[in-house]
Amino acid sequence: MSISAINARNQIKGIIKHIQLGDIVSEIELDTPAGVVTSVITTSSLRSLGFQVGNEAVAVVKATEVALARP
């Protein structure tokens, strides 16, 4: 699926700087102009997308709720 096929306005381009590979899920750190964005995806999806450190990727933020808490 190309990024143009996704209906989300909040897209942040960046470079993958770290991947913490897990058996079922993996954590990906994306270095963006807005800062580091971390995403957890299935390891199967990670392999299917061919993500590797140094690849360009796009963080697509699509949420129906944002919760706030006091520090």
CA dist 67 and 44 (Å) reads 29
pTM reported for the whole predicted model: 0.77
Measure the CA–CA gap between 19 and 15, rounded to whole angstroms. Answer: 11
Q: Which domains are delineated in the chain? A: 3-61 (2.40.50.100)
Tally the C-alpha atoms within 13 A of residue 14's C-alpha that lie toward its C-beta: 20
Per-residue pLDDT at 71 exceeds 60:
yes
Model pLDDT for residues 17-48, shown as the tens digit of each residue: 999 999 999 999 999 998 999 999 999 999 99
Count Cβ atoms below 10 Å from residue 6 Cβ, excluding itself: 11
